[in-house]
Structure 1
Amino acid sequence: MKDALMSSAIETLRTISLRCVECSTLYPGMESGWKPRYRCDCGGVLDVELAPPTGAKGLRQLFDERASVPPTWPVNTGNILPDHSGVWRYRELILPVPGQYIVSRPEGNTGLYPVGTENCGTGRIGHRQIGSYAGLDHLFLKHEGENPTGSFKDRGMTVGVTMASLLGAQAVACASTGNTSASLASYAAQAGMRGIVFLPAGNVTVGKLAQSLAYGATTIQIDGDFDAAMQLVEQVCNELGIYLLNSLNPYRVEGQKSIGFELLQQLNWQAPDWLVLPAGNLGNTSAIGKAFRQAYQLSLISHMPRFASIQAAGANPFYRSFQQGFTLRESVQAQTVATAIKIGDPISFTRARRVIEESNGLVEEVTDAEILAAKTIIDRSGLGCEPASAATLAGIRKLVERGVMKRDESVVGVL
């Protein structure tokens, strides 16, 4: 089994390169000694580059066929399980791993809800209230809270833990404000690995802390904020050879691209005019933007949507930089009720900046009061979400009020 696993890892990594987003230096998918690389020698973060898939023109049909596979469970589930996953269904564009080595719950397959005043349909009175609040006729909400541990982090974690398994890792670790720790703990337990999470004391919700503990992760609370926890976990992983699974890990971010592929599939491969999402560490902005870029390059869609990243006003380094034309980058002391985006020095800054620039997008900020007001609307509609997710609706409403976003444009917001 070990030899087969190693052979599979070698075959998988042969098709992968890692490129620095700052200086464009290219590295192999894994260097000698199977030591993971998370940063370029210049300090920049890395982006995964896959060899172009063969038969690109048939990808849409392939993905649609996989989505239609009935949920049956034969004796050999090696290929069935990945097809059920809203991540591994698109594995040719994420990580081409044989099905039997994939660590999946499965994740993804989250709802895309029509909530605009015109597209919500009859019988969804609560949903129409969201459209009225936003001021949009054609609005969809992609609810990533429907993932196994309650957040989009599961999409990245299934890829990160699968890679850790291929490399023979015994332990994985992360810094977290809650969602990442719960996800890592769950997937590490499934893979039989030790999970270690570093949390900023007093800045993690009780529910997420309980998840980490219940799944058996070694949970360490530190004095300081998320950024301090991130610095510590990176140091510990490098010194002790533990596999790091924050969004600094380029493979984990690749899994989050599946949000983009899945919502496009749900829209019959018709890209919206706008894609709006909360922005903390900026992994989703960069990942979903990359997914749309790939879909456009492969002719799966006819155009790129404009991206709008929404930050909390008390945790807004990306917004501040955008206001200055991205000429400056400064960290902030983050303070917001939206703990999942309470990050003052986002790791995926450069990757996300590229998405905003190439899509003619923008970055907006919303106050905690605006976030909580939007959360009330979403909760009362029957969908529900955490405060960080509500930043999406708060941002959409603000952009419509400013006239940046038009009432008749098609908009997808990620919760």
Structure 2
Amino acid sequence: MARAGLIARYGDRLPVTAATPRLSLGEGGTPLVRVPRLGAHLGVPNLHVKVEGMNPTGSFKDRGMVVAVAKAVEAGARSVICASTGNTSASAAAYGAAAGLEVVVVLPKGAIAIGKLLQALIAGARVVAVDGNFDQALAVVREMAEDPDHPITLVNSVNPHRIAGQKTAAFEICDDLGRAPDYLAIPVGNAGNISAYWAGFTEYAEVGIVERRPRMLGFQAAGAAPIVLGRPVEHPETIASAIRIGNPASWSMATTARDASGGRIDAVTDEEILAAYADLARLEGIFCEPSSAASIAGVRSLAESGKIESDALVVAVLTGNGLKDPDTAERTAGAGFIEASADADAVRRALGW
């Protein structure tokens, strides 16, 4: 039997109608994994990770994209457009292809991890690289989406259907745990995802499925931390390309989630992100993309400073798959493989046995 997608599973909690196509690539239902070795290393024994890299295109974007594209089809759209740091383009291209739509992607030239760019291209998206950063690319596509002479639907997270779809990850966490976590840690780039999780936890609390909501912990890269600084960053820079955003479109919603939950949004350095990225792989065997590891780096920082209780139930969201950014993995992996002749004694000697 084919796996039910998010629209089929959570349709009663999504803005869909009988006329909305039941589009799906099998998104959602991603693993919530307890990570005891990493948790002990960080001083957070009850640490879990939500592995969103197990979605069809390898990131959390699929949750919102399936709803946004399905609603675009319902409205009669023939094409969709997005700006992207990579994951949105991959997701839009895949779901647009499945729905038979033209997909246009505008992205900052030379600033996209190769795995993500290839995903968009292989799915047939028309990709335009511009001389500028993500924020400038987003301004371009917002203007194009308002052009009455060339109708096209914008599917960035400023589209409310994206946020609606992404809140389903919060539903799944509560369904798996039987409660909400004490803390939800998440990377923050364009800030739609932290807003979506908060909406999901709030909805479950309002209907009595959970008794309380978590404190929301958002983490920006130090070189792209406009919410932490309280001002836009004109030239954001970080190894974590997926959150290399200087003026988040969902800024106000993110700060509302932070404040209403009694949480915080902090910055972590690239060095902290890469250390968390390596620790997660080496201690737990989970390979995420660098931006995902911002959530782990943030948990480490708060635990070390005593801001997360040792008995707290913490869920850290891993937003994307490590295979999307092989270049960073290659640089981080260290010495690489060992060469030896094809006999057991030579291999033993190479290993120092």
Determine if the alignment matches structure 1 residue 364 to structure 2 residue 266: yes
Distance 1:115 1:284, change over 3 A: same
Percent of matched pairs sharing the same residue: 43
Secondary structure in structure 2 of the residue aligned to 1:314: helix
Distance 1:320 1:406 in 2: 26
Q: Which residue of 2 aligns with 1:397?
A: 300
Determine if the alignment matches structure 1 residue 293 to structure 2 residue 202: yes
Q: Which residue of 1 aligns with 2:175?
A: 265
Distance 1:98 1:133, change over 3 A: farther
Distance 2:263 2:19 in 1: 37
- 1:234 paired residue among 139, 142, 164: 142
Distance 2:242 2:308 in 1: 26
Distance 2:7 2:50 in 1: 15
Distance 1:285 1:87, change over 3 A: farther
CA deviations on 1:121-178 (whole Å, 9 max, x unpaired) are xxxxxxx1x1123211101000101100000000000000000000010000100010
- 1:385 paired residue among 288, 300, 307: 288
Counterpart of 1:291 in structure 2: which amino acid?
Answer: G
- 1:159 paired residue among 43, 53, 67: 67
Distance 2:32 2:234 in 1: 33
Question: Where do 5+ consecutive residues of structure 1 fail to align?
Answer: 1-71, 74-80, 117-127, 322-328
Determine if the alignment matches structure 1 residue 315 to structure 2 residue 224: yes
Question: Where do 5+ consecutive residues of structure 2 fail to align?
Answer: 319-353
8 A Cα contact 1:311 1:366, kept in partner: yes
Counterpart of 1:376 in structure 2: which amino acid?
Answer: A
Distance 2:228 2:181 in 1: 23
Determine if the alignment matches structure 1 residue 96 to structure 2 residue 6: no
Distance 1:92 1:366, change over 3 A: same
Q: Which residue of 2 aligns with 1:34?
A: none
Matches within 5 A, 1:134-145: 134-145=42-53
Matches within 5 A, 1:8-407: 72-73=1-2, 84-86=4-6, 88-98=8-18, 101-116=21-36, 128=37, 130-239=38-147, 240-268=150-178, 270-321=179-230, 329-380=231-282, 381-407=284-310
How many angstroms does 1:99 deviate by? 8.3
Distance 1:279 1:87, change over 3 A: farther
Counterpart of 1:377 in structure 2: which amino acid?
Answer: D
Distance 2:6 2:103 in 1: 24
8 A Cα contact 2:20 2:74, kept in partner: no
CA deviations on 1:40-93 (whole Å, 9 max, x unpaired) are xxxxxxxxxxxxxxxxxxxxxxxxxxxxxxxx25xxxxxxx6xx2245412211
Distance 2:27 2:18 in 1: 17
Distance 1:87 1:383, change over 3 A: farther
How many angstroms does 1:253 deviate by? 1.3
8 A Cα contact 1:274 1:305, kept in partner: yes
Q: How many residues align?
A: 315
8 A Cα contact 1:317 1:332, kept in partner: no
How many angstroms does 1:236 deviate by? 1.2
Secondary structure in structure 2 of the residue aligned to 1:255: helix
Distance 1:135 1:87, change over 3 A: farther
Q: State the 4+ residue runs in structure 1 displaced beyond 4 angstroms.
A: none
8 A Cα contact 1:315 1:332, kept in partner: no
How many angstroms does 1:223 deviate by? 0.4
Distance 1:260 1:254 in 2: 11
Distance 1:88 1:291 in 2: 17
CA deviations on 1:20-44 (whole Å, 9 max, x unpaired) are xxxxxxxxxxxxxxxxxxxxxxxxx
How many angstroms does 1:256 deviate by? 0.3
Counterpart of 2:119 in structure 1: which amino acid?
Answer: Q
8 A Cα contact 1:87 1:258, kept in partner: no
8 A Cα contact 1:86 1:262, kept in partner: no
Distance 1:319 1:85 in 2: 36
Distance 2:134 2:232 in 1: 16
8 A Cα contact 2:80 2:155, kept in partner: yes
Counterpart of 1:306 in structure 2: which amino acid?
Answer: R
Distance 1:101 1:185 in 2: 17
8 A Cα contact 1:260 1:292, kept in partner: yes
**What TM-score do the two structures reach when normalised by structure 2?**
0.87
Distance 2:20 2:305 in 1: 50
